[in-house]
Structure 1
Amino acid sequence: LDELYTSIEYPEFGMYSVVLPNPDLKPEESINVEIGVNGDYKSLFSDSDRFVFHANVFRDRVKNLINAGATGDMDFTDDGDMILYYSIDNVGKALKTGFEASADYYPGNADFHLSYGYLHAEDKNTGEKIPGLTPMQATLRAGYTYKPWNVNGWYRMRLFKGGKSNLETAWNSGEYKQLGGFATHTLGLTWKPQIKDWADFTLTFSVDNITNKKFRYLNGGYGVGRSYRAWLSATF
């Protein structure tokens, strides 16, 4: 998503960010190898349950890897707010290796979902780890469906491991700050009304980051504040 940003505003911090265009940006080229296994079991622990899992390992060789980072330039608005500048650049050749797994369990009206991802990315020219990429992420989601109304209430926790950010300790130092990990918590409600012989709708409302926690991603982006989301999808 960094490739799509044009500007980012953080009024709570008195800060604004501008992503500069790069007319010489080259597309990424990659050779990917992925090996995985899937499983789908019914009546595993009881007569009415279902267990589904996916797991895979991958190895990606990337040429002209695209990465976004701060340029070190800084301005100030007339009100004294800070303006930071970011650029999007190709960082040469990279090797990404990792592991992904997910599991879903449905014991009757309840549902449980767990996912985990590990990523290691290094610059093939220098052998150094590429900064700004989250090395490990995990998500836990649990819900319960009231079947007469087909309404599912759910809770989700997302865990992000800290590590080497793409923020330099000093401009052009080549040394990068270490940022800590964090977790976010979400409560949601999903309703799936079915209109026979016409469409299946899914309406979801959620409250994200219910603890109002402030955090920072390894790519330099800020996360702050509780947010409310609603979305609707339909299958005809």
Structure 2
Amino acid sequence: MYGSVSEKPEKPAPARGGGQHILVVDDETRIAELLATTLELAGYRVGTAATGGEALDRVGRERPDLVILDVMLPDMDGFTVCRRLVAADEDHPPVLFLTARDSLDSLVTGLGIGGNDYVTKPFRIAEVLARVQAQLRTRSRRREEPSPRYADLVLDDTTRQARRGQRTLALTPGEFRLLRYLLVNAGQVLSKEQIGEHLWLAEHRRYGDNAIEKLVSRLRHKVDGAGPALIHTRRGFGYWLGRLAQI
């Protein structure tokens, strides 16, 4: 009697990284070292931080491709760190939260302010690697999309530069984020409330309408200073970018 030996199919090998830079933020040394070692073996470059303040500093200096962020940190919670990352840079790295199972309800807040995904503690290394790979793929696809543009106004999300015709515009980070918001919503009137929420999230009321008016004024001077106006005011409603014939 002939037969074949039944063998369990081999599990596919986990996808390996291509040298992308990941920042692990966790004040528990054992967890931080476990993640750092595992990710390095999987082909990533890894840095670690034990506090929210250190994480914000390292993201600003090193611009990692992804942040693995514990919700509970000694100086500030992970949601505050995430909120500040989003407010500081439109092209902020994706955030993968680490959280205890009994804190899942709070993840609604974290994902709503700019977090991308989460893993619960205790976690399985395979799950962490899979979620890291998924977030990096999404980020890579987004960066391959054409840069936003309107008429002779072009923004380069990779270099964080803007150009109007042959002129390079010297924009601050806040001006760049505002211009990008107006550009991707070209032809649509955006209220001060909408602009404030986009720029500063839940803290926008602390800045007030005056801060938005000054920011728009500075941006308009740089964008429209030597060409047909593209940034306009719709009194009582807000601001919009486009040609006057549109509205």
The structure whose residues are more often strand, as a share, is: 1
- The two structures have a TM-score, normalised by structure 1, of 0.24
Normalised to the residue count of structure 2, the TM-score between the two structures is 0.23
Which structure dedicates a bigger proportion of its chain to helix?
Answer: 2
